[in-house]
Structure 1
Amino acid sequence: MVLKKLYSKFLLVCSFSWLVTLCACGQQKTSNTFSGLAPPINITINVNQSFQTIDNFGASDAWAFQFLGNWPEVKKQAIANLLFSTDTTSSGQPKGIGLSLWRYNFGAGSTQQGIKSGIKDEWRRAESFLDTNGNYNFDKQSGQTWFLNAAKDRGVNQFLGFFNSPPVQFTKNGKAFSSDGSSNIDKKNFPAFTHYMAESLKGIRQKTGILFDYISPVNEPQWDWKDGGQEGNPYTNTEIYALVKNLNDTLNSQKLSTKIAVTEAGQLDYLIGKKDKPSRGNQTDAFFNQKSPTFIGNLSNVKSVIDGHSYFTTSPYSNAVKIRKALHKKNSKNNIGYWMSEYCILGDNDGEIDGSGRDFGITPALYLARVIHNDLVNANASAWHWWTAVSAYDYKDGLIYINKNKNDGNYHESKMLWALGNFSKFIRPGYQRIGVSSSALSDDSKELLVSAYRNTKTKKIVAVVINLSAQPLAIKLNINGAKVNTIKPYVTSSTANLAPKPSVSTATTISIPPLSIVTLVGNNY
């Protein structure tokens, strides 16, 4: 059942409050308001069944942050808190979603070119640290750098710098996008480009004290990037191989520990097959199969993960599951991990949800939660990154929305922000995904999705429960391999944003509100 239909049904459901029924003497005690629920669904969490270790949850600063940095201090601080804070109020309400990685867009210099850049929308242009005389100015990208520092101040300690295009000084046409759909940089300019990357890393470190943990030199290399809609550059696998080798040598010579992340594939299909771009596809094998002529898995600064974007592969759900399972199988064969490094809601998604138009309601938040669950559980992603943290557009691409004003304006939280927070706030770097089983869960589940995670140091277990139905669902948790006495729920729904609820005993049957994402935090196992 598609989410739009579910939401319509939800409007017919009477208001629902958080309900719990206690079990005593082996009998379920049921209140009158609870009596309409079906029998509890038994969910088994197996602490001893371990999968991937979570590296981080993140989002990027493209494109609005170059202007947000000019906004009044109080608004900048508020937006930074929503994205990065792990603190709570006195009532236990999270102040933000606690992102654990921040993606920084290294611009190609289209901003300095102005209208001559060929990119009509100035919000889609980006500054470069390099001027036409070859001099570096690290006072550029100051708005983005303000938020880089704000993330650091709030405890974010993982940072990634990414390039949509080489600086315009090194491109074939002198612009930040291709003229003909082929790569816009000659191989002879790879050394200059990788030198720029290294100098940028060092310049940011000198200005902020932050050395980026990761650098992503190419982005969605399958697309032609020739319409001037934004900065972008296509690459073949052979070109990526040559660029990454050059960058690896440059980082080594500059004694920089930053790891290289590849390949930010535009769709997951390009990681596991050739699809319609043979020279730009089958990238998992191309770069991490030891028999491949473009193998980079032995390079010292290459991170042993393949990066891909979940665009256009999320619907219908059963097909989305198959793609992710195939990706995990191929990654396992090559002994590498997987990062889902960019996503927002694009396209019509087989009629399930349309990416166009802002929507502050629960419908896109539920769809987003479903995608995150699928990427974590079936693709075994160890990182999950939203695309643009703040959007000025009429699209489902923002966690926070602003009006298109360069110096001041209003900002609005979306439910998608808090849906991501149901994961990012509680599943911290180092948590391990653990087993979940139930007869109610399947690859084509249309009502209930559950995943679970543990941290052996803090002795916490976290379960994220997604109720896609228009009715409350009763669940009973059975935790094998650990003793958890209490569980604290945090609810995101049409009326709540990560709202904390009273802790309950693990002997309870818990009601999950209709159309909601509920994170259950168990302590002291």
Structure 2
Amino acid sequence: MKLILNNIMHVCVFIAYGFLLSSCTSDEVLKINIDKHQVFQTIEGFGASDAWRCQFVGKNWPNEKKERIAELLFSKDLDSQGNPKGIGLSIWRFYIGAGTAEQGMDSDIKNEWRRAESFIDDKGFYDWNKQEGQQWFLKKAKSYGVERFLAFSISAPVQWTKNGKGYNSDLTTGELNLLEDKYDDYAKFMVEVIKHFDSENISFEYLSPINEPQWEWEKKTQEGTPATNDNIAKLAYLLNTEFEKSDLNTEIVLAEAADLRWLYSSYNKPKRGNQIDYFFGENNAIQNLKHVKNTISGHSYFTTWPVDSLVQIRKKLNKTLETHDLDYWQSEFCILENTDDIGSGNKRDLGIDTALYVARVIHADLTLANSTSWQWWTALTNADYKDGLIYLDSGETSDLFNLEKIKYDGDFHDSKLLWAFGNYSRFIKPDMVRIDAKIEGREMPIEEEYKDIMLSAYLDEATSELAIVAINYGYKNKTINISNSRLERMYVTSASKNLELEKINNKEITLMARSVNTLIGSSS
């Protein structure tokens, strides 16, 4: 009897162990179909901005540290284990400053890190040694082979603004903070900056002259200006004229909307909304300007939570884009809104939760809005905030965010967000096309899919190289089977892995719970 009881206990323990094991492993094999004949958009690149935070790091930090930061952002090399050394950004956004740094405290912007130098002074003389730290990173990006460069401005040089400041103060008209007789000067200035760098063998493929024109920019926290659609059209016309006089092929990208809803609706600001129709509709304000790119850009802020908003807003956007035969860029994002999944933007998060949240936003922008480019806000941050890929601090626990100390040296930390972004940026190269990827037989609302497995696939039509990004947002491992492709390896970002290489040896592939995965191979 004792032997029988022992055997029964062993069986019960075995069953219990099996139940526990099954609770954290996949219940079924999900069959995936990749259709290379169903082609969507052509990818133009993945990027990030140098705004503000690169200035002191590039200028003052020890060379060894800033070299490693550059490697994390730009490198396409592998280490001895076959793991990526960096995320291989293909677009680098260079900020053209407005001169608040030269104003110092008179700029009214108290945080020195959020001011910027200007290449031109109030007498019209250029100093190409300005923005030294940003130029260091720009040149590093070039040396690493970053494919495309974008210059952007968010305020005219302060000597040309209506209030003599880089922010909008109490001006409430929604108009561009620029003196009426300085539009020409502002356009010539931006083109002159691009000409200079072209002479240095750094060609800017794109210029974005206006940023988030729907905000008032009245706070004394950073450079910025509102602008009406009419203001933007006028500036675009003058920029196009200046580019026509030059040998530059730079394209003007409009209009960096602060919220996607301003692209397809008035959203309570009629002079600054409906930007797709205003700039690219029939009889639009900028028709026949050959340097204006047939692309509208917008920012995904405040449209990512709850999940049904993430989905429905992008569906509406894509419908409007299709009727105008227009491409779309998601050109700036970090965490600003309050969410149930990761809280708010306040407090930095180096872990996997924020990384997964952002990966889902990228997935939605690429697959619902058909974005041809996806760009993060600041590559570096010195704030206790979810707004960077790499996080800076003093290294002193009791005084982590001492901005004066961090100007000259400090610690830097990669993040799971950096590596999860790399699941896209490192492997989806410019000119690859997105192709169809589906889970066979899956019947659930898309809002439920976005809490589970999300798939997108990208093909290099010249080489047949295939990259599949598979996000497992859930808390169970999942097994997938992709039968119509030859997959060789995968790169995993999870709580314990940073784009870590894993060989693929059979058709059934396990996606770890709470992970972002890039599968590499070739199409059948």
TM-score, normalised with respect to structure 2: 0.90
CA distance in 2, matches of 1:36, 1:345: 31
- Of 357, 378, 393, the match for 2:383: 393
| Residue pairs, 1:435-474, within 5 angstroms | 435-438=436-439, 439-440=441-442, 442-444=445-447, 445=449, 446-474=451-479
SS in 2 for 1:389: strand
| Residue pairs, 1:211-290, within 5 angstroms | 211-290=203-282
Instruction: Specify every segment of 5 or more residues in structure 1 that has no aligned partner in the other structure, as ranges.
Output: 1-31
Q: Does residue 67 in structure 1 map to residue 56 in structure 2?
A: yes
Give, as a single letter, the amino acid of the residue that structure 1 aligns with 2:360: R
Give, as a single letter, the amino acid of the residue that structure 1 aligns with 2:125: N
CA distance in 2, matches of 1:389, 1:302: 27
SS in 1 for 2:116: coil
The Cα of 1:352 is off from its aligned counterpart by 5.3
8 Å Cα contact 2:243-2:249 kept in structure 1 = yes
8 Å Cα contact 1:353-1:364 kept in structure 2 = no
CA distance in 2, matches of 1:185, 1:214: 22
The Cα of 1:523 is off from its aligned counterpart by 3.1
8 Å Cα contact 2:51-2:95 kept in structure 1 = yes
Q: Does residue 510 in structure 1 map to residue 509 in structure 2?
A: yes
8 Å Cα contact 2:487-2:519 kept in structure 1 = no
SS in 2 for 1:520: strand
8 Å Cα contact 1:297-1:304 kept in structure 2 = no
Larger deviation, residues 266-275 vs 401-410: 401-410
Larger deviation, residues 211-220 vs 312-321: 312-321
User: Which whole-Å deviations, capped at 9, do the CAs of 1:212-270 have from their partners, x for residues lacking one?
Assistant: 11001000000000111100010000111111111110111123211100000000000
CA distance in 2, matches of 1:442, 1:411: 41
Report the RMSD for the aligned CA atoms in angstroms. 1.5
Alignment coverage as a number of residue pairs: 485
CA distance in 2, matches of 1:50, 1:485: 19
Larger deviation, residues 147-156 vs 350-359: 350-359
Percent of residue pairs bearing the same amino acid type: 45
CA distance in 2, matches of 1:188, 1:57: 37
Whose radius of gyration is greater, 1 or 2?
A: 2
2:39 alignment counterpart: 50
SS in 2 for 1:305: strand
8 Å Cα contact 1:459-1:524 kept in structure 2 = yes
The Cα of 1:308 is off from its aligned counterpart by 0.3
CA distance in 2, matches of 1:352, 1:378: 22
2:143 alignment counterpart: 153
8 Å Cα contact 1:347-1:356 kept in structure 2 = no
CA distance in 1, matches of 2:150, 2:80: 33
CA distance in 2, matches of 1:412, 1:40: 37
| Residue pairs, 1:42-121, within 5 angstroms | 42-69=31-58, 70-121=60-111
The Cα of 1:447 is off from its aligned counterpart by 1.0
SS in 2 for 1:77: helix
CA distance in 1, matches of 2:428, 2:502: 18
User: Which whole-Å deviations, capped at 9, do the CAs of 1:63-91 have from their partners, x for residues lacking one?
Assistant: 21110112111111100000000110121
The Cα of 1:322 is off from its aligned counterpart by 1.3
8 Å Cα contact 1:312-1:349 kept in structure 2 = no
| Residue pairs, 1:271-420, within 5 angstroms | 271-292=263-284, 294=285, 296-349=286-339, 353-403=343-393, 404=403, 405-420=406-421
| Residue pairs, 1:184-199, within 5 angstroms | 184-199=177-192
8 Å Cα contact 2:342-2:354 kept in structure 1 = no
The Cα of 1:186 is off from its aligned counterpart by 2.9
CA distance in 1, matches of 2:197, 2:339: 39
Instruction: Specify every segment of 5 or more residues in structure 2 that has no aligned partner in the other structure, as ranges.
Output: 1-20, 394-402
CA distance in 2, matches of 1:485, 1:188: 61
SS in 1 for 2:377: strand
The Cα of 1:118 is off from its aligned counterpart by 1.1
CA distance in 2, matches of 1:209, 1:442: 50
CA distance in 2, matches of 1:235, 1:66: 27
CA distance in 2, matches of 1:187, 1:132: 17
Give, as a single letter, the amino acid of the residue that structure 2 aligns with 1:231: E
User: Which whole-Å deviations, capped at 9, do the CAs of 1:387-407 have from their partners, x for residues lacking one?
Assistant: 000000000001000123111
- Of 13, 19, 26, the match for 1:37: 26
